[in-house]
Structures are given as C-alpha cells and as structure tokens.
Amino acid sequence: MDLTTLPVVGPLLHSGADLIAATTAALSPVAGGLAAALAVVLLTLAVRAVLVPLSVLQVRAERDRRRLAPQLAALRKRYGTDTERLQRAVQQLYTDEKVSPLAGCLPVLAQAPVLSLVYTLFTHASIGGVANTLLEATLVGVPLGHSLLVTLTSPLWVHAWVVVLLLVVLAVVVELTRRANLRWNPVAVPEPGAQPAPGAAASVAIGRYAPFVTVVFAAIAPLAAALYVVTSAAWTLGERAVLRRLVA
C-alpha cells in the first residue's frame, strides 16, 4: 500500500510539497542551489516559532520539578525500594501541586508529525501518483533525499562531508543542551552511605547517551530530515537559554 494515496496523508503531503516547492522558488533568485535546503530550514523555524507557547510550558514544568525536588528526595528516602508506593506518592505530589510530568514532552510530541512529513516527502519518488520533484533538490551536490549511508555508497561519496559536518554540528549542540539541562536540573547526589535508588545507574546512563539518538536518526534519515533535526536542536538550545532566564 502506498501511504501517500491515503485520504488524509495524501493531501497533507501534497500541501507540504507545494509549500516547500513554493518557498524554494521564491528563494532561488537569492539562494540559488541552496534554496531547497533553506526552505526546509525556514519551515523548521516557522514550526518552532509556533510551538514557543509549548516550550514555555516545558520550562515552567522544569521549574516546578526543581521546586519539588526536596519533597521528591524525601519521598524516595521514605519509601526506599518500595517502587509501587513511591510512584503513587510522587503522582499524588504532582497532582496536589498541579504539575504535569508530561509537560516536558509537549514540544517533541508536537514536532513529530512535521518531522514525519519532511521524512516522507524526501523518501517517496511519487506522492499520490505524481512525481516528487523535491527529490531533485540538492545541498552542495548531495540530494536532500539521500542519507549519509546512501551518499557514502554512491558516486557522490566525495560530497559526504556535507552530511558529516551536519552530524558533527548536531552532536555538539546535543552535548551543549545536555550540559545546560544538567546545570538547570542537577542530578541529586545520594547521602554518604545511602543505598542508591533502584535503577539509578541505568537512569544516569540513559540520561548521558539517550540525547544522541537524534544524531543516529539524522545519519540514517534523508538529508532534508537531518536539516530539520539540526535546525530544531539549535533552536532548542537558544530558546531554552532565553526562557529559563525569563520564566525562572
């Protein structure tokens, strides 16, 4: 089954393709061969600008969790390894304080459909039976529909540095964001002699390496999707720095 022909998906993809194509045409006189890539970047910036209210909620949720950190630590000390009672107590605390533990996920969840749209637009040769002309767009010789692996195994491998450079930039931004998050939400240091909470080591390891999953995704996704991820990550780093000063 071709998903691009489905009643809801097809029109969305056509609209997205038309929007990117129109933006590319408008930018071509100025940006030349970079117009299509720039159109993806501008689309990303527009989406992130619309999602600023959700980002504000996210930072407020972080602030509330920092405020509740002493109470959460007391609950962990009180219930110890009784995970079930601890979870109920934590949920009750969030309910009493009117804090949503899911607020921090809102910007990511809201972007998922747009990123999926960009991914699909640059991985299908046709959309609803119509040839997908977006696949002809390139960035410094690399088609926006090519991933790093495809580029490396094609005659265009000499241009793979473009994708590698994007991945390096993304890795740096992800690491800076991770460190900023740690400064804003420092990991609680257990008291001397205290037993570590169940799964504490795993949680630390996940927190250390999970953010870099985006780098892996960008490496296997079409270049257009990688552009979206890099632009969004850079926006997140700057936006979070500003909002934390304003909301704190």
* pLDDT one-digit tens code per residue, 56-108: 988 888 888 888 888 888 887 887 777 888 888 888 888 887 777 676 677 88
Torsion of CA 137, 139, 144, 146, to 10 degrees: 130
DSSP codes joined into one string, 73-129: HHHHHHHTT-HHHHHHHHHHHHHHTT--TTGGGHHHHHHHHHHHHHHHHTT-SEETT
Q: What pLDDT is attached to residue 94? A: 82
Give yes or no for a contact between 137 and 37, defined as CB atoms under 8 angstroms apart.
yes
Q: What is the maximal distance between C-alpha atoms in the chain?
A: 67
Name every residue whose Cβ is closer than 8 Å to that of residue 65 and which is 6 or more positions away in sequence.
Answer: 72, 99, 101, 185
Residue 103: name the closest of 69, 50, 55 by CA.
55
Is the model more confident about 197 or about 23? 23
Q: What pLDDT is attached to residue 47? A: 93
Q: What does pTM read for this prediction? A: 0.84
pLDDT at 30 over 90: yes
The residue type found at 96 is D
Angstrom distance (rounded) from CA 214 to CA 81:
33
Least confident segment among 75-89, 152-166, 214-228: 75-89
Three-state DSSP class for residue 175: helix
* pLDDT one-digit tens code per residue, 125-155: 887 777 888 888 999 999 999 999 999 999 9
